[in-house]
Amino acid sequence: MRFFIVSLFCLSSLSAQVVQKPDFERMRIDNTLGSQLPLELMFQDENGKDVRLGDYFTEEGHPVVIILAYYSCPGICTLVLNGFTKGLKELDWKPGEKFTVLTVSIDPTETAALAKKKQATYAEFYGHDLKDKWYFLTGKQANIAKLTDVLGFRYYYDKKRKVYVHPPAAYIFTSKGKLSRCLPKFVFTEQDLKLGLMEASEGKMGTIIDRIQSFCFHYDPNKSKYVAQASKIMTAGGVLIVIVFGTFLVLLWKKEFKKNKAVEDTA
């Protein structure tokens, strides 16, 4: 009897895995780094205004972050948006100044009014007004499908639970709409965001120290985070020593030059 129960349990578990496997394969992120965003796609912003994706990409060289979610989501979306907002709080750069953020709903039935409420929620959480800084968009199914296809964002609608099943992700683009980095995670550290934005800005953002840090780190997709490279740290350290030593020699030379000139003037 016990053997029968155990066997029945194993068979039910196996059948459950068989049923779930295709669904799991449909919920994934494909690697599409370097792909061009279809900037002509039309959506509506949180005020109900028709907008093109291209409207958020400027000639100033500012990167753009896009988060795919939906506003009535009972789970994953909230975790992603909360994690991203916490990362923003740690970052000394502000959206609207150095970069722009877009959240695009993957649910074509959602309205601008719902997007507006979601923007207000995260403005309160972030502690700053998000108008013209972090936009919340809605759109038609055809345009949503084109966007998610280009980004390799694979998801599906579970009719039984009436929810969209999807992976967590934030995408970072260059000012020209090229996909620079995908961060498939729930927790976004200050380092994740800063290094990702610096990559997308193609060296136009950050101080010299920030750029040295960027040089020393690379993104490890297996760990879903930026990690230090020992060889580059040593190279950067060597360059820094040369710069410091060179600066010291120049200052010493200037001091000696002024001393000699003073002696010549008094002679």
The pTM for the full model equals: 0.73
User: Could you tell me if residue 222 is inside a domain?
Assistant: no
The answer to the question of residue 12 being in a domain is no
| Six token digits for residue 182 | 């995908």
Question: Which has the higher per-residue pLDDT, 211 or 259?
Answer: 259
Residue 19 belongs to some domain of the structure: no
| pLDDT per residue as tens digits for the range 67-116 | 999 999 998 999 999 999 999 999 999 999 899 999 999 999 999 999 99
Per the model's pLDDT, the better-predicted residue between 219 and 199 turns out to be 199
Q: What is the 3-state secondary structure (H, E, C) of the chain?
A: CHHHHHHHHHHHHHHHHHHHHHHHHHCEECCCCCCECCCCCEEECCCCCEEEHHHHCCCCCCCEEEEEECCCCCCHHHHHHHHHHHHHHHCCCCECCCEEEEEEECCCCCCHHHHHHHHHHHHHHHCCCCCCCEEEEECCHHHHHHHHHHHCEECEEECCCCEEECCCCEEEECCCCEEEEEECCCCCCHHHHHHHHHHHHCCCCCCHHHHHHHHHEEEECCCCEEEECHHHHHHHHHHHHHHHHHHHHHHHHHHHHHHHHHHHHHC
Count of structural domains, the chain: 1
CA distance 13 to 86: 38
More confident residue, 235 or 91: 91
Mean pLDDT of the chain: 79
Q: Is residue 199 a part of any domain in this protein?
A: no
133 lies in which domain range? Answer: 28-188
Please check whether residue 83 lies inside any domain of the structure.
Answer: yes
CATH, residue 62: 3.40.30.10
User: Does the residue 219 lie in any domain?
Assistant: no
